[in-house]
Every structure is written in C-alpha cells, then in structure tokens.
Structure 1
Amino acid sequence: MSTMADDDLTQEEGKKKGGMLKWIIILVVLIALGVGGYFGYTMFIAAPSEDDAATSEMTDGDQEPLENLEGTLVPLPTFLVNLADPLGRRYLKLGIEVEVRDEEASAALTAKEAKIKDALLLLLSSKTYDGLSSTKAKIELKQEIADRLNQVIGKGGVLRVYITEMVIQ
C-alpha cells in the first residue's frame, strides 16, 4: 500500500508542477504579445511626434516644410499626346496647373516653356492606358511631372502639380 500512496503523491506533485509550468508559459506569452503590440503601435500606427514630423518634412536646410508653403498656381498649356499603346490608337488630353514656390519659379516656367513642353511631351507619350488607369498611377504621374519640372526650372521651385483635365480616348 505504501507504493500506491507514493505513486499518488508523485502524480499530485507532477500535476502541481505541470500546472505551474502552464501558467508561467501563459504569462511569458502575454508579456511578449504586450511588448510586440506596443512596438507595432509606436512604429506603424501612432502619429509621429512633432519633432519627427518636422524633420521628415524639411526639404533643404532651413526651408519650411512643403505642406506649410502656399504657392502661386500657374496653368500650363493643355497637352494632347498619343499614348504608347500597342495599336497606337489611344490619346491623352491632359490639363495641369503647377503650384510654384515664388515669382522667380513662375518666371522660370514662362522663360523655359519650350523645355518644359518637350520634357512633359516625352514623359506623357511614354505612358500607356493601363499605366494611367488607376488612381495610384495618376498620383505617380503627378510626382513624375513635378520631378521633371524641378529638373528644368531648379530644385524645389514646383511644390505641387494639380491635374485639372484628363481624358483618355
């Protein structure tokens, strides 16, 4: 009978140890989830602090963030180009207005109109219908136009590009 009692005691101690081990594992998993959740929240969901936002929005040196700058809108002529589709039967009619930083950039747009038309015609005629059909593609096109204009008139002269008319036929 003593052997049976010893076996019962050993099983009870094993159950206690197994039960305690289960709670320790659960506690470690909960702590890991909490730390991971906090890290994910701070890195991906939470808005950046004012210091981080100010440094990431700075363009060059001591200039103001682009979002705070108000510029002058300058309309460009309407562009009508053949798209680079395989059959060559699609056309793009694009009207844009450009927000420039100051009067100097506005004057540069006027003075370098031929270079600007050339750069934008080459850019637009290289696009396809499929390459312009999504909203994401249109946003990328606006950025590409701004980049080309800044290459022609000088870095940072163009703040934003607005598409005022877009017809693909």
Structure 2
Amino acid sequence: MANAPEAPEGKKKSGFLKYIILVVLLLVLGGGGYFAYLKFFAAKPAATDAAAPAEGQPAPEAQKAEDGHAAKPEEKKAEGGHGEAKGGEAKGGHGGKDKAPSNNVALPPFVVNLADPNARRYLKIVLDVEMTGNPELLEANQAKIRDSLLMLLSSKTSQDLATLEGKILLRKEIVDRLNQALGQAKVARVYFTDFVIQ
C-alpha cells in the first residue's frame, strides 16, 4: 500500500515539471524573439540615421564629391530644358529623368575566359549599373552591351585584374564601353556585386 500513493505523486511531479519546462521555454523563446525584433527590425532605421552624420563629419571630401555628383543631374536637367525647346523629339524622354536622376540596374552575370597565355583562367563578374537616364536603354541595347563587355573582359589577364588599381581601371573602361554602346553618356557608375577569378 505504500507503493500505491507514491506512483500518483510521481506522475504529478513529472507533469508539473513538464509544465514548468514548457513555460520556461516559452519565456526564453518569447524573449529571444523580442530581442531579435529590437536588434534587426526596430533598431535598423535608428542605426541608419546615426550612421549618416558620422560618415559626413570625418570625410568632408566624400560629401563634396556627393554634392558634385548631385549637381551633375541638375546641370543635365537644365540642359534638358534647352534641348526640349530646340528639339523635343531628341530629348523628349529627358523630362522623366527629372523625377529620378539615377537608377540602378543589375546586369546578368558575365563569365569569360581571360587572356592569360600560360593558364586557362576565367572571370565571373556581376554588375550593377547606375543610370542617369532611362534604364530601359540598357534593355533596348542589351546585345550591343553584352558584346562590348565580353570583348573588353576577355582581353584582360588575371594579373590586370588582380590589383585594386586594375579593378578601378576596369570600372572606368566598362562605363566608357556602356556609354559607347548606348550612343550617349547615360551611365554614371558601375558597381561590382560579384567578382571571381579562377
């Protein structure tokens, strides 16, 4: 008879222990979820606002460069006004640019064999193009752009692209080639989003 009362108490204790563990786990998960919300969602705009003045203060040259870049679209807007007065059909799409002075467009990846004489190496590159004009120009001239960039990239060696200076020079050359393919200077900058040499 002593064994009979102990069995229900053991079940009560183990059931009670399960509920305590369940409540503790729910509290831990809820606290972790709340922390993740504060860390990743609620704090993000505050961090962005705090980072903007910090970047502007120590690097006034970068801010001047941005101001100079911001002035360029305004100058082009002024030119667009004169161009529309002279010939509306030539610069007619310029009015849409006033609302959005720059647009980023992602190009499909490029994979090319490099011009290394002794080794078989290739380059995989993915680009984001900053446009000052209508981004649909890139889609309309996609064949010209791909041909021009494939010819440029396949003429490079791995040593040409191994240094930082080589990558900066390649950026400038890509901008020049894109503007030539478009027939007008509508590409402001190019950003490498993926750059692999193997």
Q: Normalising by the residue count of structure 2, what TM-score does the alignment of the two structures yield?
A: 0.51
What is the alpha-carbon distance in structure 2 between the residues aligned to residue 167 and residue 70 of structure 1? 31
- Given that 1:82 and 1:88 are in contact with CA atoms closer than 8 Å, whether structure 2 keeps it comes out as no
Aligned counterpart, 2:92 = none
Name the Cα RMSD after superposition. Answer: 2.7
- Given that 1:72 and 1:101 are in contact with CA atoms closer than 8 Å, whether structure 2 keeps it comes out as yes
- Given that 1:78 and 1:96 are in contact with CA atoms closer than 8 Å, whether structure 2 keeps it comes out as yes
2:128 maps to a residue whose letter is E
What is the alpha-carbon distance in structure 1 between the residues aligned to residue 139 and residue 76 of structure 2? 24
* Runs of 4+, deviation exceeding 2 Å: 57-60
| Structure 1: 5+ residue stretches without partners | 1-46
What is the alpha-carbon distance in structure 2 between the residues aligned to residue 89 and residue 58 of structure 1? 45
Matching residue within 86, 95, 112 for 2:126: 95
What is the alpha-carbon distance in structure 1 between the residues aligned to residue 119 and residue 136 of structure 2? 36
| Structure 2: 5+ residue stretches without partners | 1-60, 78-99
Cα deviations by residue, 1:68-105 (Å, 9 ceiling, x for unpaired): x95111000100000000134100000001000132xx
Secondary structure at 1:63's aligned position in 2?
helix
Secondary structure at 2:156's aligned position in 1?
coil
Aligned counterpart, 2:115 = 84
* Per-residue deviation, 1:156: 2.0
Aligned counterpart, 1:168 = 197
After superposition, residues 2-151 of structure 1 pair within 5 angstroms as: 62-63=75-76, 70-103=101-134, 106-151=135-180
Secondary structure at 1:102's aligned position in 2?
coil
Q: Report the structure number with the largest CA radius of gyration.
A: 1
Matching residue within 155, 160, 164 for 2:184: 155
* Per-residue deviation, 1:59: 6.7
- Given that 2:101 and 2:133 are in contact with CA atoms closer than 8 Å, whether structure 1 keeps it comes out as no
Q: Is the helix fraction higher in 1 or 2?
A: 2
Q: How many pairs were matched up?
A: 112
Secondary structure at 1:81's aligned position in 2?
strand
- Given that 1:82 and 1:91 are in contact with CA atoms closer than 8 Å, whether structure 2 keeps it comes out as yes
